[in-house]
Amino acid sequence: MSSTPELAARSRLAELRKLLQKASYEYYVLDAPTMPDSVYDQLYRELQNLEQQYPELITPDSPTQRVGEKAATRFTSVQHNIPLYSLENAFNLDEFASWQERWRRVAPEVESFEYVCELKIDGNALALTYEQGILVRGATRGDGMTGEEITQNVKTIRSIPLRLNLENPPSIVEVRGEAFLELDVFKQINQEREQSGESLFANPRNATAGTLRQLDSRVVAKRRLAFFAYTLHVVDEAMGVENRESEGGETLQDTEAQLSLLTTFASPQHTVLKPEHATRQTPQTQWDCLELLQNMGFKVNPHRQLCRSLEEVAAYYDRWSTERLQLPYLTDGVVVKLNSLTLQERLGFTQKFPRWAIALKYPAEEAPTVVETIDVNVGRTGAVTPMAFLRPVQLAGTTVSRATLHNADRVAELDIRIGDTVVVRKAGEIIPEVVRVLPELRPEATQPYQMPTHCPECGQPLIRETGEAVIRCVNSSCPAILRKAIEHWASRDAMDIRGLGEKWVQQLVDRNLIHTVADLYDLTVELLMQIDRMGQKSAQNLVDAIDQSKHKPWARVLYGLGIRHIGSVNAQVLADHFPTVEALAAAEIETVASVYGIGTEIAQSVHQWFRVPANQALIERLRSAGVQLAGESHRSSALEPQPLKGKVFVITGTLPNLTRDEAKALIQKAGGKVTSSVSAKTSYVVVGAEAGSKLAKAEELGITQLTEADLQKLIASLEERSP
């Protein structure tokens, strides 16, 4: 028999999960959050603590179970309970009209009908299985009959509920939808991959597919996938999946009785109702089902539209042909479905497609042009990337004059040659790429392009490591690698050396004035004035900017070192866990890999970098130059008293003299910690003009408020008491 404390914990856990599920639904599905972040964080922490105390009470639908701690070793193939059929494509409105004529010949007596138009998201289809309302399986589409089971990764997608918003749900519910990456997230992922020397994803769909197949769900969680639901199935255990499949494959809903099981317990007001209070109206249409999916806790595309004629469909299609370019995600067409579920069931399927739905595709954003030359670019990590330089062509509102060819395998696959006519594609924020070559337009006597065997910059042999598609120059003295390394060190997210642009870096390297980033700190005004068009004032400004960079935080120094796979986010994570360069350099691979969000590949890269004698010498030179190789709190604890140690501060509003960063640095230097949200653990709130909700929260919790002057007096008084 359960003890009284355990019963109380069980009750509180259920309450916390319900509150957090509701908050996530409002935030990720309705885009209308009501719970402040600080409250969510506090409740989530309470949930974590209770589950640690009572691990036997952890449930699969708990918000804490979205990200697995251990990476999967492989994915297993699973058979779909209900096949995922493809859609027939129409590439213009005439083809759409022909499709309408075909289905009407099957049901000539139908006089009145409606269509539901939904944007066709350019992502990857997922099949989700819920048992007793709990998410138990997520799978990729695969070939439509079998896919890969990726449940742990699916759980990281915040717009997919771990528990359906239903009271007493049916035994088994299947939901289909599209996982995708928003354009700004895709752009950020590629920026981080470029910074860490990894090959770039060609487009959001490929990035989504690669993300879903990551063995480490923590990596998936960091990439912030999104999801729109669009299809609903209820499995009737009495009928059985096998019988239903033998009757001709997938139907959107097999019987009205099955669907009524859902609507009995889902309300249009997005709340879970008791059976006696719920609506019992059976969905009759696809539109009803989309509304029901949203009520169940899923995000449904908000731009859906009910159309009553071919003309209305055409207007919807024409409208989104241009407006889709303003969307935060990619869409390549419109999915049109007959609204009536009864009519859908009547029409059924062909061998490949449902007769009651079609994808009305937009013309691809592609354009033909001519390859004028092909060359390679040597990056900061030595990666050699082939590029096609093109006759300028207008595409997606911009002029495109070059396109990536990705790697040697892609060059061979395309059989691309100088003089070829090629088709180039670009959409949204995507890097222009060569889609295909038109060999019928190829000039005579052309030769296949051959990737270089030696670095075009330094002449050293290029290396292709086992299992990699990228060819690299591994000569650390290569001028191209050095130039890119210096540019990276001086970049805004690293040391932020204003005025040290590509032009000056080129001359510094060409004149042998610098051979490593450490040489920057030996530059003088006299040396810099040897550079073409560098006057005394410009030289002095650059020397001053280089000197100021010595004070940049340890995390930015670590990022600036250009260690492979280390982007700005990973650098901050590592700097937080390893407060000095000595601590990081001495750490074993397993220790680094154990840091949340890092993993084995990054840990190996860090470990190998610090084992190279030239890199060890670089660290010593940077130390001698006065560059910060330790975190602020570590330097403070070693050299100065820490009167604020153990105190947690929140800064809100505009302070009269200090910027927020300056106030934060002042607190951290004295040993305090600065957080962004007010909680019961907050010691003080530093308040400036136009303080917002954080001040109200502090007043509610009774937390001591300080002005800027109060803060400085507090630090001074505590320093006087320090031994």
Q: Enumerate the β-bridge partners of residue 685.
A: 650, 705
Q: Enumerate the β-bridge partners of residue 394.
A: 399
Q: How far apart are CA 670 and CA 143, in angstroms?
A: 60
Helix (H) or strand (E) holding 700, with range, is: helix 693-701
Structure tokens, 128: 């989700």
DSSP letters, 187-204, are HHHHHHHHHTTPPPPSSH
8 A C-beta contact, residue 177 and residue 227: yes
Closest CA to 497 of 455, 551, 461: 551
Helix (H) or strand (E) holding 639, with range, is: helix 632-639
- The C-alpha angle with vertex 602 and arms to 517 and 407, in degrees rounded to 5, equals 80
Q: Which residues are annotated as a binding site for Zn(2+)?
A: 455, 458, 473, 478
Q: How far apart are CA 298 and CA 646, in angstroms?
A: 42
8 A C-beta contact, residue 215 and residue 74: yes
Pairing of strands 673-675, 648-652: parallel
Question: How many other CB atoms are there within 10 angstroms of residue 393's CB atom?
Answer: 17
Is 537 labeled as catalytic in the residue annotation?
Answer: no
Closest CA to 630 of 682, 580, 595: 580
Catalytic residue among 18, 22, 70, 120: 120
Backbone φ and ψ of 13, nearest 5°: -60, -45
CB-based contacts of 598-606 (< 8 A; 24+ apart in sequence):
598/570, 598/573, 598/574, 599/71, 599/216, 599/218, 599/219, 601/565, 602/565, 602/566, 602/570, 605/563, 605/564, 605/565, 605/566, 606/563, 606/566, 606/574
8 A C-beta contact, residue 234 and residue 67: no
Q: Give me the residue label for tokens 């509610």.
A: 700
8 A C-beta contact, residue 446 and residue 419: yes
Please provide the distance, in angstroms rounded to a whole number, between the alpha carbons at the two ends of the chain. Answer: 55
Q: Which residues are annotated as a binding site?
A: 37-41, 86-87, 118, 141, 178, 337, 361, 455, 458, 473, 478
Q: How far apart are CA 132 and CA 173, in angstroms?
A: 8
Closest CA to 523 of 500, 501, 495: 500
Q: Which residues are annotated as a binding site for NAD(+)?
A: 37-41, 86-87, 118, 141, 178, 337, 361
Quickly list H helices, 75-199: 93-106, 151-154, 183-195
Q: How far apart are CA 414 and CA 416, in angstroms?
A: 5
Report, as residue numbers or ranges, the catalytic residues.
120
